[in-house]
Amino acid sequence: MTQTIGIDIGGTGIKAAIVDVVSGEFIGEKIKVGTPAGAIPGDVARVCHELVEQLDPGGSLLVGVCFPAVIIDDVAFSASNVDESWVGLNVGDLLEATLGRRVHVVNDADAAGFAEYMFGAARGVQGLVLVTTLGTGIGSALIYNGVLVPNSELGHMTLPGRHNRTAEQLAANVVRERKRLSWSRWAEHLQVFYETLEMLFSPTLFVVGGGVSKEYENFLPLLTLRTPIIPAEHFNNAGILGAAALVPIER
Ligand code: BGC
């Protein structure tokens, strides 16, 4: 079956679409609703159920979900920008019980990164592709020769010379917005982040995702790196695409 439902659960919105996982295209429209206040698991699961039934009424398409947390075997092990009650929860079991369908769960940046490798800016690139998403948090995905190394969480890395602050605390896009940082001031933080990643991982390619990557011309040219650094292609659709594409075929 090449059609799978992808759902991207975020702190502000929940987006879903049917994805052709061979071509990486949406079948029909993407739908989006606001995340219920508090982002409590039961409320989020109910919204996912409504979205799935809207896309595939009474059907049995498999569902791939991405979520902003460390996810191991469908269980959440962190909660940076969502309610603490997700920690330790088997998100897959909760959603399977609510949706009545098979569900597979992955980290949101892993999903976005894998989508860029499969269908986007890093399509088919061999070696190490390091994808970062700059949004409310900073997410990361490592894809080596097409294999995803999950849960890298590089946005929580403490940056050198930055008073024990993490990349996410200094350089998330919400920090730029909240502090009204100029592009050049923000790029100074990004420079430290990416040069540290470059020193530690020597990637073949950096891909920069998240909604702000649409405005890449304002900040990517300000970075000095030996590694090529390019904007993502799928912006806010990458999570849906990757979540769907990562659903194991045998499930
Ligand atoms: C979370 C990651 C997530 C990233 C982007 C971070 O705060 O720890 O799991 O991928 O935000 O949403």
pLDDT (tens digit per residue) in 195-224: 999 999 999 999 999 989 999 999 999 999
CA of 104 relative to ligand 1 center, distance in Å: 18
CA of 121 relative to ligand 1 center, distance in Å: 21
Check residue 126 and give its pLDDT: 97
Check residue 250 and give its pLDDT: 63
The domain tally of the chain equals 2
Residues 99 and 188 occupy one common structural domain? no
Q: What is the CATH number of the domain that holds 67?
A: 3.30.420.40
Check residue 1 and give its pLDDT: 66
Which residue ranges of the chain lie beneath pLDDT 70? 1, 250-251
Check residue 162 and give its pLDDT: 75
Check residue 176 and give its pLDDT: 97
Give the whole-angstrom CA distance, residue 250 versus residue 115.
20
Residues 54 and 87 occupy one common structural domain? yes
Check residue 214 and give its pLDDT: 94
Residues 50 and 81 occupy one common structural domain? yes
Check residue 212 and give its pLDDT: 94
Check residue 249 and give its pLDDT: 78
Residues 93 and 140 occupy one common structural domain? no
Residues 64 and 7 occupy one common structural domain? yes
Q: Which atom of ligand 1 is nearest to the CA of 137?
A: 11
CA of 172 relative to ligand 1 center, distance in Å: 10
Residues with CB under 6 A from ligand 1: 68-70, 78, 80-81, 107-109, 133, 135, 137, 139, 153, 155, 168
Domain of residue 84, residue span = 3-110+238-245
CA of 194 relative to ligand 1 center, distance in Å: 17
Mutation test of ligand 1: which of 138, 140, 193 has the most ligand atoms closer than 8 Å to its C-beta? 138
**Rg over CA atoms, the chain:** 17
Task: Give percent helix, percent strand, percent coil of the chain, each to the nearest 5.
Answer: 35, 25, 35
The pTM for the full model equals 0.97
